[in-house]
Structure 1
Amino acid sequence: MNTASTSNRLGLWFAHAYVIGLCATLAGAYFFQFGLWEYPCPMCLLQRMFFLLSALGPAWIIIRARKGSVTAGEWAAGWGWAVVAALAGSTVSATQVLMHIVPPDPGYAGALFGLHLYTWALITFVGAAVAAGAALFLTPRALPLDAGLTSPALRRASTATSAVLLAFAASNLVACFFLQGFAWQMPGDPTGYALFH
């Protein structure tokens, strides 16, 4: 296997890592919601949606690679989408950070290593934008040419990664429905699942 083919496959593996990484971030948020019973506010849910939207770009690249070579335009479109969604999500996170930054405001919900989840979301969004930007910068070396067709491991991984993203998108939709129920507006500081009250 030549060096170019190796870097092309690494580019596609990086797309998988990006999607799984953002889904892992959502899994952490689920732990706080369902394990510690800390209900997400509307801004928290909006940040979750931007995580999912950012993951859609590389997920599209992964699905496209299953059908053949990925063009430079498709690669750029997928990672460009990831950057824009991550930057949009970072503005929501930054807004929530600024809402609670003035002492003695205790912040919303619990914290992890001294930082609230919206602060971690801001850090993650900025990191995601940098990572997606790096993938764009490395387009000539990372562009998956025939990697999706020739690697059985990548084909299996593409199925698994797509399923994981779909599962998180569906579960997030269900969680939002449970929180809001049939009300037109969700409370800013939810204390339970409106669907059951």
Structure 2
Amino acid sequence: MSAPAQRPLMTGDPRVTGGRIRPDEVIRPAVAPPAAPAVPDPPESGSRFGLICAHLFVLGSCGVLAVALFYQFVRGEYTCPMCLFQRMFVLLSAIGPGYVIARSHGGTVTARDWARGWGWTVLAAGCGAAVAATQVLMHIVPPDPGYAATLFGLHLYTWSLIAFLAAVFGAALLLFLTPAQTLDAAGTRATARITLGLLLAFALANLAACFLMEGLHWGVTISALPTV
């Protein structure tokens, strides 16, 4: 019988190194490199359509209040209690996008900020639409001529109803388009200050106009509301 074949001696075999294993020849287990820390998603800077809509919404609300103040002080139209409530809901509706703009002043707008702002607008504009629709139904039966003057053939409370419904639809659409990532609003601080300052100015002007017309007799105004 032939002698069994011998295995080739490995480098680290004690028979090769004289019974001693050199440290540089010890086979050590492989160690995996440490995992890289998770990097958060960068702010989304490709689209600022929502921020532009927020500014346009606030400016549009200020425009609606400007028309109301013009009819009150320039054309001498007495503002009814229902009209006062509609003005308040215009301001409340503008708080939603105003909140989004205020958050953008810090540099970023999160999805939660976006949802809170436009969600509030849907609620406030919906309540304003209910008030405006109530006033429309009060004067819808002929031969009622309606209350106060008209603008392009429609009374101001009819335009108010249209504006509130458009606000609900627009805010719901922007709420549906809530961004998945944080919006990068860097470089918009100056614009945010201007828009919020304008909104605050019209809010104070509307408060002064209501006070000049009603004074402290709000009980008379509330009692003048229609009852079913």
Q: 2:135 aligns with which of 81, 84, 96?
A: 96
Provide Cα deviations, 1:20-66, integer angstroms capped at 9, x if missing partner: 11111111111111111001101001000000000001101101111
Alpha-carbon distance, 1:121 to partner: 0.1
Alpha-carbon distance, 1:182 to partner: 2.7
Secondary structure of 1:176's match?
helix
Q: Retained in 2: the 8 A contact 1:80–1:136?
A: yes
Higher relative contact order (CA 8 A, sep 6+): 1
Point out the structure with the larger helix share.
1
Q: Retained in 1: the 8 A contact 2:111–2:182?
A: no
TM-score scaled by length of structure 2: 0.75
Secondary structure of 1:33's match?
helix
Alignment partner, residue 183 of structure 2? 145
Alpha-carbon distance, 1:74 to partner: 1.4
Judged with a 3 Å threshold, the aligned counterparts in structure 2 of structure 1 residues 70 and 99 are, in CA distance, closer, same or farther, namely same
Alignment partner, residue 39 of structure 1? 78
Distance 1:19 1:144 in 2: 22
When the two structures are aligned, how many residues end up with a matched partner?
180
Secondary structure of 1:48's match?
helix
Q: Retained in 2: the 8 A contact 1:11–1:144?
A: no
Alignment partner, residue 156 of structure 1? 190
Percent identical among aligned pairs is 56
Distance 2:119 2:68 in 1: 25
Q: Retained in 1: the 8 A contact 2:71–2:77?
A: yes
Q: Retained in 2: the 8 A contact 1:12–1:144?
A: no
Mapping for residues 129-140 of structure 1, pairs under 5 Å:
129-140=168-179
TM-score scaled by length of structure 1: 0.86
**Higher alpha-carbon Rg:** 2
Distance 2:135 2:166 in 1: 18
Provide Cα deviations, 1:52-99, integer angstroms capped at 9, x if missing partner: 000001101101111132221111010000011000000000000000
Alignment partner, residue 195 of structure 1? none
Alpha-carbon distance, 1:188 to partner: 4.5
Alignment partner, residue 73 of structure 1? 112
Aligned residue type for 1:145: L
Aligned residue type for 1:118: Y
Q: Does 1:30 align with 2:65?
A: no
Alpha-carbon distance, 1:10 to partner: 2.1
Distance 2:182 2:196 in 1: 17
Q: Does 1:185 align with 2:220?
A: yes
Q: Which runs of 5+ in 1 are unaligned?
A: 190-197
Distance 1:112 1:67 in 2: 40
Distance 2:102 2:215 in 1: 34
Q: Retained in 2: the 8 A contact 1:65–1:144?
A: no
Secondary structure of 1:106's match?
coil
Over the residues paired in the alignment, what is the CA RMSD in angstroms? 1.7
